[in-house]
Structure 1
Amino acid sequence: MKNAIIFFYNIEPTELQEKKNAYSFYVDYEKYYLYKLMRPKSDIDAMLKIVNSHPKSFHKIIPNRIGEPTTKIENAYYILIKILGPEHSEIDIRDILLNEIPYDEASVLDRSNWGALWSEKVDYLEYQVSELAAPHPIIKKSFSYYVGLAENAITYYNLLNHEKLPLYISHRRIPDPPISLDFYNPLNLILDIRVRDIASYYKIQFFNEDFDRMLKEVDLLIEKDILSPLEYNLLFCRMLYPSYYFDLLSQILEKDEDEQSALKYIEKISQYEKFLNEIWHRFSKKSSMIKIDWLI
């Protein structure tokens, strides 16, 4: 890969290391990542349009020697990114709120139709589990619970009176752990309503942090008083949806991740239900909320 980088980018990489779907290296003490593209070309084109309109909000995309953002190397496409600032700075809820950027153009990156996307995801995972879960007793035992959570989230979403909300530049997922390397990576971009990233952050951090600290993070958001009644409901709805478990499930079934990893979530089911209950009651002071009988 070193020779390919020299040829396509006219730079001399040092300390080249292969990572998951990427290579990292230095040029003149500055850090670079050469990422293998894992998204369709239509997504990449739309992502580049966003990055070009907000260049200071993300790590820098470096074009190849003929000025193209993507490069084909050994039958795969790559994109080179120069890291701006520290790699491992911790991201918290303040960073998420400070980096809210509205985006009002139609785009293939729009992921705001949650009900349809979630239903499609559940159907797909149910098929996968039926075909592939036999060697995974932990998954077989826990899967139906998380499908139930997802179905509650879908029902909650469908019961809401959906007014048109503005789209914001968002992330497919807030990274775990939430650090600046991934948070400012343009390859992680999508468009959605702004509570997506907030919910993703809360869900990831709940399983990494102390219960009371996470409630303080929620209180910090409420104190800022920036969400509409509908946004409080949508945020709670997204907290219900177990994206954290489903993401790991795909890794277990498709990429041989150890299913013991799922215990991180399964062993905190009761605590997470309590967390949801606390959030619901806090949000109910700001908005009329839909009641879920088994949870509230």
Structure 2
Amino acid sequence: MKKMIQEHYGLKAIDLFKVNGCDAFQLHQTIFLLQKVQHLSEEELYEIYQMGQFLQDKREPCVGTFVLTKDNNLFFENEKVRYILLKCRTVKARNDIQLGSDLARFHQKARSFPYELSNISRIGQWKYLWEKRLDQLEGFWRGKLQSHPLNHFEKQFVESFPYYLGLAENAIQYLVDTELDDEPQPVDAGTICHQRFNLHTWNNGMYIKMPTDWVFDHCGRDIAEYLRYLFFSDENNSSYYTFINEYDRTTPLSAFSWRLIYSRLLFPLHYFECIEGYYLSPEGERASYEKELTDLLNESDKYEQFLRGYFGTLSMRTKKIFLPRLHWLNF
């Protein structure tokens, strides 16, 4: 690693340590992270680089920015593995963070991103992406149904899928109705979001905002995924209200936003990722997914309660906003 860093960047890494799963080293007050980016195309890397430069120009704190190679490239390859080097001024993880407010300010700043993105934009694509994912998993489920489940995980998958199929179809219909019924407001413009925003996305030991986490999407993506994360990690319901109220106080959300967030929470992404993760993992690494699926199924009633309780997260200012409810959830 040290030799590669010296060869491609002309930087001398004395001591390597790990940050967020990456090899890292420090020079003066700057931390450098060497990251594998096999999952990102050259076009995607260029768009992420553009967003990083934009946020740096906007003085967004703690953003990891690309270090160009000595040949002025965004990445280098070694033994068919693609690497990038990111740098960021060192800031210790904060305990006093108001995550809802900070995320709202981040989104607010990033809404003025001036360039068109074609590779990492997800804005307006949820319906297509969800339908595609649902069709793929349904086809896989039918195959397992015909071949008869072989183990406990597959039996649970075969038995539980129809319920989550219904939940996903409800989510897609709710999304379609939202786009038909409600008019997007300025707050609904595309912004820089994250694949799966959670408590550790920024607070990763060094408080670094990693550009490789980014996609261009509606702010509701990050809000919904953080609420989903809270459900599966925190029994304290007040965390939902705190986060939502902090965000809404900093950047008031529209009715369109509230409905989009709800449609994303309805879509059982946690279930899809568990099933996909199991079958994409080597045999020896599947035990964690077996436990995760059992836990998800045991908590399905609680998740329905969470979906019912979403309407209670509306702040006092937004109580007048009408959100259609799903009758089958027994409100």
Task: Tell me if both proteins adopt one fold, taking TM over 0.5 as the criterion.
Answer: yes
Partner of 2:78: 73
Per the alignment, do residues 209 and 18 of structure 1 end up closer, same or farther by CA in structure 2, a change over 3 Å counting?
closer
Matched residue of 1:294: which SS?
helix
SS class of match (1:251): helix
Instruction: Return the letter of the residue paired with 1:114.
Output: W
Measure, in 1, the Cα distance between the counterparts of 2:140 and 2:49. Answer: 33
Residue 82 of structure 1, aligned match among 83, 87, 92: 87
Aligned to 1:110: 121
How far 1:174 moved relative to its partner? 1.0
1:168 has 2:191 as partner: yes
Unaligned 5+ segments in structure 1 are: none
Equivalent residue, structure 2, for 1:9: 9
Residue 129 (structure 1) shift: 4.3
Matched residue type, 1:203: R
With over 3 angstroms needed to count, the CA separation of the structure-2 counterparts of 1:88 and 1:68, relative to structure 1, is: same
Q: Which residue of 2 aligns with 1:51?
A: 52
2:170 aligns with one of 120, 145, 152: 152
Taking the aligned partners of 1:121 and 1:96, their CA distance within structure 2 comes to 28
Deviations 1:121-153 (A, max 9, x none): 111223344557744234334333322221111
Q: 2: CA distance between counterparts of 1:134 and 1:94?
A: 48
Aligned length, in residue pairs: 295
Contact 1:169 1:191 in 2 (8 A): yes
Please give the per-residue CA displacement for 1:261-288, whole angstroms capped at 9, x wherever unaligned. 2344333222221121111255482322
TM-score with structure 1 setting the length: 0.86
Report the RMSD for the aligned CA atoms in angstroms: 2.8
Q: How does 1:94-105 map to 2 (within 5 A)?
A: 94-100=101-107, 101-102=110-111, 103-105=113-115
* % same residue: 21
- Corresponding letter in the other structure for 2:161: F
**CA offsets, 1:16-75, max 9 Å, x none?**
35799x641213365332111112222112111221222243212111122211111111
Deviates more, 1:235-244 or 1:140-149: 140-149
CA deviation profile, 1:186-229 (whole Å, cap 9, x unmatched): 01111111111111111111211124223423344455570111
Deviates more, 1:100-109 or 1:214-223: 214-223
Consecutive unaligned residues in structure 2, runs of 5 or more = none
Q: Which residue of 2 aligns with 1:28?
A: 27
User: Residue 277 of structure 1 corresponds to which residue in structure 2?
Assistant: 308
| 8 Å contact kept, 1:104–1:167 | no
Q: Using a 3 Å threshold, how does the CA distance of structure 1 residues 233 and 84 change in structure 2: closer, same or farther?
A: same
Shift of 1:234: 1.0
Counterpart of 1:214 in structure 2: which amino acid? Answer: S
1:234-253 alpha-carbon deviations (Å, 9 max, x no partner) = 11111211223322332211
Q: Aligned residue for 2:323?
A: 289
Partner of 1:125: 137
- Tell me which amino acid in the other structure corresponds to 2:137: L
Greater Cα radius of gyration, structure 1 or 2:
2
- Relative to 1, partners in 2 of residues 1:221 and 1:81: Cα closer, same or farther, differing over 3 Å? closer
- Equivalent residue of 2:197, what SS? coil
Q: TM-score by structure 2 length?
A: 0.78
How many Å separate the matches in 2 of 1:176 and 1:244?
16
Letter in 2 for 1:227: L
1:107 aligns to what SS in structure 2?
A: coil
How far off is 1:171 after superposition?
1.0
